[in-house]
A and B are shown apart, each in its own frame.
Chain A
Amino acid sequence: MDARGAWYLVGPAMGLVVVGLLWVANRPLGALGGWIDLHALMRRPSEKAGWRLFFLAGIVGGGLLHALLAGGPQPTFAYAGPSAPLSSPLVLGLAGALMGYGARTAGGCTSGHGICGTALGSPASFVATMTFMATAIAVANVVTRVLLGGGS
């Protein structure tokens, strides 16, 4: 289970999860909403958590389930990010803040816009997906080739 699942198995299966959630609960899949619900719950703990937080909690559980099948989670703070300086807690936190601010502005993230919204044919999701893909590809290449001197 430790081996990486092939894209032609994982991708279509994710598509089935999108369809399943739509069929069973008439809900669009996306990870960002759960984080928004979590933020709302942290601000007002007395209010009822939204369904999207339950979906997000499920994702955490799915990560744990996979780790258990792959020999148990081995908790670590090590992060094989782009390079050592870019993997510091401060930079990761800043990157997280950019993602949270940006995704909430755009109304979705890689799963919500990139997989579900495009599957449902929403023009805004195609625009959002093309924009964050192009931006991330451009920035990653510039950072790697220019700032990090083309290192691996």
Chain B
Amino acid sequence: MRSRWIAVPFGVAFGFLIAWGHLTDPQVIRSMLLLREADVFLLMGSAMAVGATGAHLLRAFGARSLVGREPITWTRTRPGRNHVIGSIIFGLGWSIACTCPGPIAAQLGAGQLAALFTGTGLLVGIGLRGWQAARTKATPPGDGTTAAAGL
């Protein structure tokens, strides 16, 4: 088990970028969802393009992780009903609050205390899903640690 602390600087960078891009501003998300501006779509698209390019370069060069010296791997998951149903419910909440799990954390750091309400709700929803899964003895897909399964 490598140090968990290595994740902190990446979180700081990601949180800083969320705040710099004003993704912590619910009006920015609202403008995006009402299709009044394309910036957030372009932001996500360019993040994805750079991420895809970098990930494939790492794989092409056979790079190993700097911590742990593991071969860099990730899983690709086949879409299932849970991805569609879960994302419909997620999208509903997202469109109401105009924020999502990453920006909620960044909002907390920035003193936007309404994030305490959305964050508490997030934990309740996560708990509810876990409780339901335990009752049906199924593991929620969000509990894995592989790329497509556990984010």
Q: Which A residues are closer than 8 A to B by beta carbons? A: 1, 4-8, 10-36, 38-39, 42-43, 49-67, 73-82, 86-87, 89, 91-129, 131-137, 139-141, 143-144
Contact = CB atoms under 8 A, between A and B. Distances in A.
In the A-B complex, the 4 residue pairs with the smallest Cβ-Cβ separation, listed nearest first, are A58-B11, A112-B151, A96-B121, A62-B15
Interface string B49-81: 111111100100001011110111111111110
Which residue among B20, B39, B144 has the maximum number of chain A CB atoms within 10 Å of its CB?
B20
A49 B3 CA distance: 12
Instruction: Describe A's contact surface by its main secondary structure.
Output: helix
A103 B102 CA distance: 12
Given A59-B18, A96-B104, A111-B102, A8 B140 contact: no
A98 B80 CA distance: 19
B21 A140 contact: no
A17 B10 contact: yes
Contacts of A131: 83-84, 87-88, 91
Contacts, number: 526
Interface of B: 2, 4-22, 24-28, 30, 33-35, 39-40, 42-55, 58, 63, 65-68, 70-80, 82-98, 100-102, 104-114, 117-130, 140-151
Contacts of A50: 4, 145
Instruction: Describe B's contact surface by its main secondary structure.
Output: helix
B68 A26 contact: yes
A66 B16 contact: yes
B97 A108 contact: no
Nearest to A83: B30
B46 A95 contact: no
A75 to B, nearest CB: 4
Contact of B123 (A7, A39, A57, A80): A39
Contact of A104 (B8, B20, B129): B129
Given A137-B35, A139-B91, A62 B106 contact: yes
B34 A144 contact: yes
A76 to B, nearest CB: 6
B13 to A, nearest CB: 5
Nearest to A81: B26
Contact of B85 (A34, A39, A105): A105
A140 B86 contact: no
Given A82-B98, A97-B128, A22 B90 contact: no
Given A22-B74, A60-B105, A107-B150, A15 B93 contact: no
Given A17-B14, A61-B11, A66-B16, A132 B105 contact: no
A105 B90 CA distance: 9
B49 A15 contact: yes
15 contacts: A6-B39, A11-B45, A15-B50, A26-B70, A62-B16, A63-B18, A77-B113, A105-B82, A105-B129, A106-B142, A112-B150, A114-B48, A123-B77, A124-B78, A144-B34
